[in-house]
Structure 1
Amino acid sequence: MADFKGFMKYQREVAVRRPADERVDDWDEVYPGTPGEAVLPLITTQAARCMDCGVPFCHNGCPLGNLIPEWNDLIWRGEWQVALDRLHATNNFPEFTGRLCPAPCETACVEGIHRDPVTIKNVEVATVDKGWDDLRVTPQMPNWHTLKTVSVVGSGPSGLAVAQQLTRSGHSVVVYERADAPGGLLRYGIPNFKLEKSVVDRRLKQMRLEGTTFKTGVTIGEDITGEQLLERFDAIVLAIGSTTPRELPIPGRELRGVHQAMEFLPQATKALSGEVPDQIMATGKDVVVIGGGDTSNDCLGTALRQGARSVLQLEIMPHPPMTRPDSQPWPTYPMIYRVSSANEEGGERLYSASSSEFLGDDQGNVRAVRLSEVRREANGRFAPVPGTEREIDAQLVLLAMGFVGPEKSGLVSELDLELDRRGNIVRDEDFQTTVPGVFACGDAGRGQSLVVWAIAEGRSCAHGVDAFLNGHPSPLPRPIGPQVRQLML
């Protein structure tokens, strides 16, 4: 334990974001410089707040099983390189999780029982950003080549994690991505103000130098068939994500101006590097975003930067409590009221509300949303409250209600993969599907989840693939979070 009185001497401090009225005028990350630079002046005292618990529950809260007390102690002592090594020992991409993860590790922090928890996420991102700035993050070349080949379909965080782990184990890995650049959701699903693409590109450069091959603009199932993949590669990993959006089949859904969030967000990111034909724009419009999660907040921040006249987020769930409810005790991740960077910038949130119809004008464009307040009945369903129906002006409606599994056409259908009742790809404890040699990881098998879970699944899947190729388990690091711990029982 670095400073045995640190948790009593120092208060929790987090990185300060740039003023909201400043950052809505650009697409840069919301922190001055980088998130790591923003928190660097606070980092030593914040790391000292870690109590180095005898039984650290932050490990259990983190799906990756990050060695949090270890690198907190090392940062307090100024041993930055060793701390970076311990951070990378369980997490391939801490610069992604340090920016995007909601930090379930912090809600599981023992100090958080009676005090504010340690700023684990801030320490994480400061450690890795400083490592990049000091040129201490370098390619890790394999010591030998196995002559085994693996294709990874999809280049989101799960696909990148499995590809990097297998490349470092000596396998020849080719990553296929249907978009024009690798990164998956990291590149086109998450706005620049949360994750600048240079952060993704520098990690991709490292992976290329290590030996991973990326092929973009290739749709597996069309440009290359699943049968061809099976012939060319010794193993296939499907990291295709959960990309089928949840629909809202109410009257008026066909009106122009009603779009899925993932039609809107990728265009906004692509437009930063070139013109996007027929781009969906929020400029000068009243925008209604249906859904209250991270994707909804991304739509909010993007619409505000495009100059929307107003933005209203509709959430069918009731207003969450301000503090941890008794039904969600420590160390679980509680559903409480949270304020994202986008919420700080503007817009309104309306809870316990459900839309029943989209109203259009004479030209077939959406002009309003008809909604009403709702309450949960005994059967768990939401029912409209009589007398609360009203119309909200809207010239742009964005559906941000989550996703319901991987796309069923194309490769999933061609390989005749078995799906579970939720529409996700069935796999065993080694992440192998019902087709021998074909593996699935990330949201495609787990369902829509967090970036930290995607990386954890990629690392675990790499272990299964390596065992399949070599006939025995490899020394690949395997996450020790809740999922793997359950598999080991």
Structure 2
Amino acid sequence: MGKMTGFLDYEREVSAEEAARDRIKNWNEFHIPLSEEEQRKQGARCMECGVPFCQSGVMMKGMVSGCPLNNLIPEWNDLVYTGNWQEAFNRLKKTNSFPEFTSRVCPAPCEAACTCGLNGEPVTVKENERAIIEKAYDMGYALPKPPSIRTGKKVAVIGSGPAGLAAADQLNKRGHSVTVFERSDRVGGLMMYGIPNMKLEKWVIERKVEVMRAEGITFITGANVGKNYKVNRIMKEYDRVILACGASNPRDIDVPGRDAQGIYYAVDFLKATTRSLMDSHLEDGNYITARDKHVVVIGGGDTGNDCVGTSIRHGCASVTQLEMMPKPPVKRADDNTWPEWPKVLKTDYGQEEAICVFGDDPRVYQTTVKEFVKDAEGRVCKAVICDLVPRKDEGSGRTFMAPVDGSEREIPADLVLIAAGFLGSETYVADAFGVELDGRSNVAVKDGSYQTNVDRVFAAGDMHRGQSLVVWAIREGREVAKAVDKSLMGYSNLA
């Protein structure tokens, strides 16, 4: 421990944010990093606990506590404090393939489990991580490091999201020849088009992909395996195949009027905006516009919030976000103790911007849609919503949200965005390879092996575990790489 009293001497300080009124005028990231001196003080706040819950990555009551990657957080916090940036980068990269991504989009379960957070404010782990990786690029520590020896083995990775990229990165370091197939026109999977630019600017992804190319990884875009790219060709040319296509099958809402024009899945709305932004800065008009429209977002979570922030940047007339569950408490409930993930109210950037522009929080809790109303041209113009209350099912004992009779009311809705989560992967890739699915529409694997029922074919990431966090996808990508390496070489020395 570099400074034994750091957590007493320094208060938690995080990067400043550009004012909401200003940042909605553009699509850029809006966090202003701390100075190096201040960032080092934040590293000094880490106590290097005897039991570092921050890096545990264990499941508690169905939620993760600590980092799923088991990042060596106390070690590199101390190295940040002492200014040893190169060694901090080395320790960070030992467990995390893509700190440039996680330091921007991860919800930081590490901080939720930080011991400092038990009686005060947690260490700024996420921002320390970002400082390390950005310093590494500035100082040249993150330059390409191609392997010196090749094994002669070839691996195909289907999908270029965080799981596929992590698997490719690890296997390439081992010396295998890796080709990543991506059906889109750019590499990055859902991170490229599904996460808005203001959360993750796309040059960050492209910067890392260029490093991976220089290290010897081949990327083939526009290759929709199972449709325009034949599976038997891949099986013939490669020694192993990893399926990492994500969980991209969106959950729908089955209510009267669902067939109205103007109702879209959130992921399609977000993808179209980011693609048009990258292609022409929205000048081509090839996106679903929210300008001057009353927007209704169905669903909470990160995706719902992203839809709110994106709609505001389009110039929407209003935005309402419907959430089925009750409003979370401001502080931990008695049955939600540290180091569990805190189930507390979080007001994210999109909601902050809606409050700034329209004066109110866009979220309406314990509410759902009962019907969509169409105009004479078949376009959605209103949504009939109703209140919900929690009730227990007498048979199973489970709590469910039941509609309240007589609570129906109409709200304007010119554009509806469904952000209700995902039901697993699109099945055509799984069908093309002949791999089995489990009861949740995810690709089934043998326990602990990532091996599917098809010889030489493995699966990882959201395609295997269902919709989850980027950090979980990276972990699975690293673990499937280890499994594939062992199947090829008889052992694996991958971390």
| TM norm structure 1 | 0.95
Note the residue ranges of structure 1 that are not aligned, 5 or more in a row: 478-489
Q: Could you say which residue in structure 1 is the equivalent of 2:14?
A: 14
Which amino acid in 2 is paired with 1:468?
S
Q: Could you say which residue in structure 1 is the equivalent of 2:270?
A: 265
Assess, with a 3 A threshold, how the Cα gap between structure 1 residues 41 and 404 changes in structure 2: closer, same or farther.
farther
Matches within 5 A, 1:107-126: 107-126=112-131
Q: Could you say which residue in structure 1 is the equivalent of 2:187?
A: 182
Same amino acid, percent of matched pairs = 47
Q: Distance in 2 between matches of 1:66 and 1:367?
A: 49
The answer to whether the 8 Å contact 1:430/1:463 transfers is: no
How far the C-alpha of 1:255 sits from its partner, in A, is 0.5
Residue 327 (str. 1) matches residue 332 (str. 2)? no
Matches within 5 A, 1:154-169: 154-169=159-174
Query: Pick from 380, 386, 390: which aligns with 1:366?
Result: 380
Q: Distance in 2 between matches of 1:373 and 1:303?
A: 25
Which amino acid in 2 is paired with 1:136?
Y
Query: Pick from 83, 90, 113: which aligns with 1:85?
Result: 90
Matches within 5 A, 1:246-395: 246-272=251-277, 273-274=279-280, 276=284, 278-346=286-354, 348-379=362-393, 380-395=399-414
Q: Could you say which residue in structure 1 is the equivalent of 2:415?
A: 396
Assess, with a 3 A threshold, how the Cα gap between structure 1 residues 294 and 219 changes in structure 2: closer, same or farther.
same
Q: Distance in 2 between matches of 1:42 and 1:369?
A: 49
Query: Pick from 47, 55, 59: which aligns with 1:59?
Result: 55
How far the C-alpha of 1:344 sits from its partner, in A, is 1.3
How far the C-alpha of 1:115 sits from its partner, in A, is 1.2
How far the C-alpha of 1:270 sits from its partner, in A, is 1.1
Assess, with a 3 A threshold, how the Cα gap between structure 1 residues 120 and 278 changes in structure 2: closer, same or farther.
closer
Q: Could you say which residue in structure 2 is the equivalent of 1:485?
A: none
Q: Could you say which residue in structure 2 is the equivalent of 1:2?
A: 2
How far the C-alpha of 1:250 sits from its partner, in A, is 0.7
Q: Aligned to 2:481, what secondary structure does the other structure show?
A: helix
Q: Distance in 1 between matches of 2:275 and 2:54?
A: 37
Which amino acid in 2 is paired with 1:48?
A
Q: Distance in 1 between matches of 2:481 and 2:193?
A: 25
Cα deviations by residue, 1:242-297 (Å, 9 ceiling, x for unpaired): 00000101111111100001110011111112255652100000100000010011
Q: Distance in 1 between matches of 2:259 and 2:98?
A: 40
Query: Pick from 33, 38, 43: which aligns with 1:47?
Result: 43
The answer to whether the 8 Å contact 2:276/2:286 transfers is: no
Matches within 5 A, 1:218-229: 218-229=223-234
Q: Distance in 2 between matches of 1:6 and 1:426?
A: 47
Q: Aligned to 2:369, what secondary structure does the other structure show?
A: strand
Q: Aligned to 2:181, what secondary structure does the other structure show?
A: strand
Q: Could you say which residue in structure 1 is the equivalent of 2:213?
A: 208
Q: Distance in 1 between matches of 2:250 and 2:347?
A: 24
Q: Aligned to 1:381, what secondary structure does the other structure show?
A: strand
Assess, with a 3 A threshold, how the Cα gap between structure 1 residues 39 and 120 changes in structure 2: closer, same or farther.
farther
Cα deviations by residue, 1:119-139 (Å, 9 ceiling, x for unpaired): 100101111112112222111
Q: Distance in 2 between matches of 1:385 and 1:176?
A: 49
Assess, with a 3 A threshold, how the Cα gap between structure 1 residues 206 and 278 changes in structure 2: closer, same or farther.
closer
Q: CA RMSD in A?
A: 1.2
How far the C-alpha of 1:325 sits from its partner, in A, is 1.8
Q: Distance in 2 between matches of 1:193 and 1:49?
A: 29
Which amino acid in 2 is paired with 1:207?
M
How far the C-alpha of 1:38 sits from its partner, in A, is 4.2
Q: Distance in 2 between matches of 1:208 and 1:87?
A: 21
Q: Which of 49-58 and 137-146 deviates more?
A: 137-146
The answer to whether the 8 Å contact 1:14/1:39 transfers is: no
The answer to whether the 8 Å contact 2:329/2:345 transfers is: yes
| TM norm structure 2 | 0.93
